[in-house]
Amino acid sequence: MSSNKIFEIDNTKKIIILFAFIFFFVILLLTSIFRTVNDKKHSISLKAEKKELPVRGDIISEDNFKISTSKKLYRAEIDTRHISPEKKELFLNLFSIYSGIDYKTLKDKLTEGEKTPGNLVLSYSINSRSAKNLKELDFKLSQLGVFTARMVNGSKLVKRLTISESGEKRGFAYGNTLTPVIGYISKFETDNGKTKVNGVKGLEKYYNTYLNNVKDGILKGQRDVINYVSFDKNSEMTQRVDGATLNLNIPLKLQKNNETTLDNHKKKLNADEIIVAIMESKTGKILTMASSNRFNPESIRQEDIPNLNVNAVEYQFEPGSVVKPLSISLAMDKGLIKKNESFPAYNSGGGKGAYPIGRFTIKDDHKFTKSYLSLDDIVIFSSNIGTLQIAQRLTGPEFFEGMKKFGFGRKTGIDLPYEKKGLMPKIWQFSANDKDKRDNIFKATVSYGQGMTSTFIQLIKSYSVFNNDGVMVTPRIVDHITYDGQKYKPFDDKPEKIISKETALEMKRMLVKTVDEGTGRSARIPGLEIGGKTGTAQIARGGKYLKKYISSFVGFVNDDKGNSYTIGVTVFNPNSTGVNWYYYYASQSAVPVFKEIVQNLVKLNYLIPKEGIIQ
């Protein structure tokens, strides 16, 4: 074969080999490009999920004012390494304007943060409006060249202003109104670093589980090139569900009027505290539960600590004579009092009576000119001696169980935490001397409200019996709960029949007469049916009675339109010395407060006096 032929064959082989190499590299290049494109496409189309933070439920008054509400908080953060040094002042000035945060505070924080360059949280407590403004500011700052790029893992990266949910803040729009009943909260941090709150006292505590029953909002979709979740027809969205809303029976306007009344009388009486409650006699709905001692839940001070408890349900005290109608009713209901029966006054024909029981002598405060007392006399003029004689007709178990039925020694069931039960002697103590049919000192003292303790709310609940045909209702502050658009009743109360309708009506008649003629005379308001009973008791401490008093008036008011309320007032330690020493009597302290509370009900049209009556 010629040399030319061999040369041609060698050239052909070289060309084939060259093309083979070129083809191989083209395939490699195309494969690499395909993989890169595929990887980028895959990374862009990754599924993403974003959560929206829900907040604690609201507490709303009967007249639709938000007493307690939660608002979202947002965190604002930057990376100090991405702020252009030349534009730092521009950033600080604009951020201060848009966020409302003081310029110097921001500058100091940024200067401190630059000592250790990296992520810096400028605020954890940005409100919703400012957060929206700051998101708009982020775009403007980017256009103004405030943020600069850095090389990260071989790529240029720009980190801008980041606004994200940081938690919630509890707000109390009306300051100290409805405290301490509304309660207060404490903050805590969740596992994912969000700020949430829990109730510590009051309604915030009692309904904490309902108020914090929340569900995150969730958006699932494709993640775009700048790492945001894009929303399209294939996205999945679950609406956030905030905590349950408490809808109260208490109207804000009535509550505030009554709190003003208590504030004024506290000054006049120089009392430690005054509390009042208004309850619908037939439903148990609480329209007012007020104290003269209140606090701002958003700013609790050292001096506020004694006022944090709801003394209406947490403080136990000897109630005094307000118990007399209850113990007398027990004997009446068992037919142990004859019609038109009279009871000896033990006053030797006149003056104050004195009744001996063993080594004790029970005395009356009221002077009687006659030697025998009718049942009306005993109730209207508050005779200890007459009351204890009636109580002795009940056996120990009858008296014990009767007082239990009226609610003493057990919780009322009101929707507030830390409710106390009060204290009563044991059944065996009431039963001593039953076999011999001799007087029992425990029955005697408890019959007129000493030697036992009760809470204020127990008295309110028990007195509903006289204004509700012998039926006792459970006091309730919350009317219903609203959750995820649905209404719920968080309780199923069943009224209790305590005494017969006949007994209730007879005692009601005597309590009305007490206001017309007896110790409650200054509570009278023309055109309204008002009844009630005063009680003045000494404060006991360390087994001894102090020269300090608790004065109460518990009763009811009705108009001829069907409005019917049970109302109680208790004054803790009113003035008992000096020129106004007589303020410690319930007739001089609790009764005038009661009257003004009723006048507030009239003023706001919760009561309509009979027409033609001039007040």
The tens digit of pLDDT for each residue in 247-281 reads: 999 999 999 999 999 999 999 999 999 999 999 99
- Residue 27 in domain: no
Say if 4 falls within a structural domain: no
Mean pLDDT by runs of 10 across the 615 residues of the chain is 51 65 63 52 53 91 97 92 92 93 93 91 90 91 89 82 91 97 94 90 98 84 52 69 96 98 97 98 98 96 96 96 98 95 90 92 92 95 96 97 97 98 97 93 97 97 98 98 93 93 98 94 95 91 82 97 97 91 92 98 96 57
Asked if 157 and 167 count as a contact pair (C-beta separation under 8 A), the reply is: no
> Does one domain contain both 134 and 273?
no
The verdict on residue 549 lying in a domain is yes
Specify whether 291 is located in the same domain as 428.
yes
3-class state of residue 326 by DSSP:
helix
pLDDT score at 45 = 46
527: left (phi over 0), alpha (psi -120 to 50) or beta: left
59 forms bridges with which residues in the sheet? 68, 246
> 127 and 265, same structural domain?
no
Count of the separate structural domains present in the chain: 2
Q: Is 123 helix (H, G, I), strand (E, B) or coil?
A: strand
- One domain for residues 130 and 271: no
Q: What is the pLDDT of residue 152?
A: 79
- Are 154 and 277 members of one domain? no
> What is the C-alpha separation between 313 and 413, in angstroms, rounded?
10
Structural domain includes residue 385: no
pLDDT digits (tens, 9 = 90+) for 469-478: 999 999 999 9
Amino acid 225: pLDDT: 42
Q: Would you say the C-alpha torsion 343, 395, 467, 367 has a positive or negative sign?
A: positive
Give the phi and the psi of residue 122 in degrees, each rounded to 5: -80, -30
Q: CATH no. for residue 83?
A: 3.30.1390
The residue from 147, 166, 185 where one domain ends is: 166
* Beta-carbon count within 10 A of 42 CB: 9
**Domain assignment of residue 156, yes or no:** yes
> What is the predicted pLDDT for the residue at 6?
45
Last residue of a domain, one of 120, 136, 166: 166
CA distance 451 to 444: 9
Alpha carbons 130 and 128: distance in angstroms, whole number: 6
* 536 in any annotated domain: yes
For residue 159, what are the domain limits?
A: 73-166
Q: Which of 116, 147, 166 is the last residue of a domain?
A: 166
Q: Which residue, chain included where needed, has tokens 């009630």? A: 532
Tokens of 327: 């113990």
CATH of the domain at 504: 3.40.710.10
User: Within a domain: residue 558?
Assistant: yes
Do 517 and 419 lie in one domain? The reply is yes
Look at residue 235 in the predicted model and tell me its pLDDT: 64
Spatial distance between the Cα atoms of 299 and 507, rounded to a whole number of angstroms: 47
Nearest to 565 by CA among 575, 574, 554, 576: 554
Question: Does residue 510 lie within any of the structural domains?
Answer: yes
pTM for the whole structure: 0.86
Nearest to residue 597, comparing CAs of 265, 154, 355, 110? 265
